[in-house]
Amino acid sequence: MSEQDHIRSHRTPRLHVDAALTPDTIVQLGPEQTHYLLRVMRLSLNAEVTVFNGRDGLWSARLHGSDRRRIAVKVLGQIAPQPPVYGPWLAFGVPKRQALEMIVQKGTELGVTRFFPIATEHAMAERLNPARLERIAIEASEQCERLHVPSMDGVMSLQQLLDGWPADRTLFWGDETGRGEPLADAADAILGEDLEAAPPPWGLMIGPEGGFAPAELDGLDEVPFLKRVTLGPRILRAETAVIAGLAIGQALAGDGDLPVRSAS
């Protein structure tokens, strides 16, 4: 099977593992992965799978072991090297659990490489469950065939986010008041300048349900890397705004893990 056949195949399960990947390494799988492979996918022992760890690229492997309650994989050979990471960062006011989990899942599918949950007057930061969100990001990475699992920063204030944000990474702020420039225009001016080059670093910030409090917005227009943008004439739910904003940026800058930009 060729490299492209491996990458495109939907019949070969793709698993994220924590271990270093080298030929003949045996990696023990957890009970959830064992259940998925043997009970849901109904694979037999010695069946082929692919594995990645976010560092060493994509590898072929085979199920290994005789105990069907918890199996391992034997790593065979590398299929593809680890690609560079170009994806956007996403900052968001923490919404209710269902919306939060959708933001992490869909953000991962749309190439986000780093999540920044923000505690605001209207955000529900106490609902954050880092372990569960990491599992959602891993499962989304497996499903969408990316080779990098995004990281999740700890909850921070808006000021802490801005203080630590790199000056060379444009941050598009989805302003629900509608006073910003259309995101497609603002992003095209920054991300669409050179279609043959790797896209410049960028990020998206979406406020919490109910928006930022007036006091939280003081001084934002003076932040040089912050671009106030609008996503259209309607007030969007936080998860909808995240998907819409990332999709626009992705169309201009390419998919997070793969440099797919083309001049054609």
> Mind giving me the DSSP string for 18-85?
SS---TT-EEEPPHHHHHIIIIIS-PPTT-EEEEE-SSS-EEEEEEE-S-TTS-EEEEEEEEEPPPP-
Q: CATH top-level class for 89-253?
A: alpha beta
Distance CA 18, CA 21 (A): 9
DSSP assignment letter at 211: -
Residues of the chain with CATH 2.40.240.20: 3-80
**In the predicted model, is pLDDT for residue 257 greater than 50?**
no
Residues of the chain with CATH 3.40.1280.10: 89-253
Q: What is the pLDDT of residues 208-253, one digit of tens each?
A: 888 888 888 888 889 999 999 999 888 889 999 999 999 998 888 7
pLDDT of residue 246: 95
pLDDT of residue 254: 66
DSSP assignment letter at 168: T
Domain 3-80, CATH: 2.40.240.20
Q: Give the dihedral of Cα atoms 54, 56, 61, 65; nearest 10 deg.
A: -80
pLDDT of residue 7: 43
Q: What percentage of residues in the chain have a pLDDT greater than 70?
A: 88
Cβ-in-10-Å burial (0-12, 13-18, 19+) of 160 comes to middle
